[in-house]
């Protein structure tokens, strides 16, 4: 069994741009994922930019994610990006892990609204395949609230890689957390004080698919 850890970055869809076909507040602009083996070791990563059909990358989102409109202008649309990632996984048996249920819900919204019909995407989105690791984390340590990935990493004494709000970096860091906790069932959290934050992550948490696809598989 393999484990795909996924993270989405999103832009906002201004109210004036919403319509009967797409009435959601956010739209995916980046998919990041890391593939883990049965020992939760990283064997591959993929980062894809996604062209939003309704949303725009405003200055706040650009500052938060580092993603520019020029990077998504010619990128694949969400259906193509998902199929490409699924093809990259190949014929491996796998579960999908995400930090919170928001990523799966966002994909379901877009798949429905954009009328994406593909058997491989349908199989990818099966509910039993997905694991909300934020909920797993909260239940395991009997927390009274769900916490951010950043706080979870701090309390598990993990130094984060890369930058927060980059889809692949967030997926890699979630994978490090999963590895540490799943391979150490008796692990106890440390106390941790969150640094002051200037902004809030709207997503869970690239180049174009041809000019901005960055993937590696060992």
pLDDT in tens, 111-145: 999 999 999 999 999 999 999 999 999 999 999 99
In contact, 12 and 106? CB cutoff 8 Å: no
- Name the token pair of 184: 């150490």
The CATH number of 2-217 is 3.30.420.10
pLDDT at 191 over 80: no
Closest CA to 132 of 204, 44, 36: 204
Tokens 């509910």 identify what position?
A: 127
pTM confidence score: 0.86
In contact, 65 and 40? CB cutoff 8 Å: no
Encode pLDDT of 147-173 as tens digits: 999 999 999 999 999 999 999 999 999
Encode pLDDT of 67-109 as tens digits: 999 999 999 999 999 999 999 999 999 999 999 999 999 999 9
């Amino acid at each position: 069994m393999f484990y795909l850890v996924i993270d989405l970055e999103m832009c906002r869809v201004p109210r004036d741009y919403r319509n009967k076909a797409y009435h959601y507040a956010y739209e995916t602009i980046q998919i990041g994922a890391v593939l883990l083996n049965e020992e939760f070791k990283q064997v591959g990563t993929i980062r894809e930019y996604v062209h939003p059909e309704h949303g725009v990358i405003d200055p706040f989102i650009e500052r938060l994610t580092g993603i520019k409109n020029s990077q998504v202008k010619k990128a694949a649309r969400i259906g193509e990006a998902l199929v490409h990632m699924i093809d990259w996984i190949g014929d491996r048996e796998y579960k999908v892990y995400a930090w919170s249920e928001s990523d799966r819900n966002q994909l379901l919204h877009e798949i429905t609204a954009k009328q994406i019909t593909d058997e491989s995407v349908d199989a990818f989105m099966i509910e039993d395949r997905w694991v909300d690791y934020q909920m797993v984390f909260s239940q395991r340590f009997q927390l009274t609230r769900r916490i951010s990935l950043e706080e979870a990493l701090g309390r598990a004494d993990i130094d984060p890689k890369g930058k927060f709000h980059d889809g692949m970096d967030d997926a890699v860091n979630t994978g490090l957390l999963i590895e540490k906790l799943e391979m150490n069932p008796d692990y106890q959290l440390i106390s941790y004080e969150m640094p002051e934050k200037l902004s809030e992550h709207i997503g869970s948490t690239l180049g174009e698919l041809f000019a901005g696809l960055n993937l590696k598989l060992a």
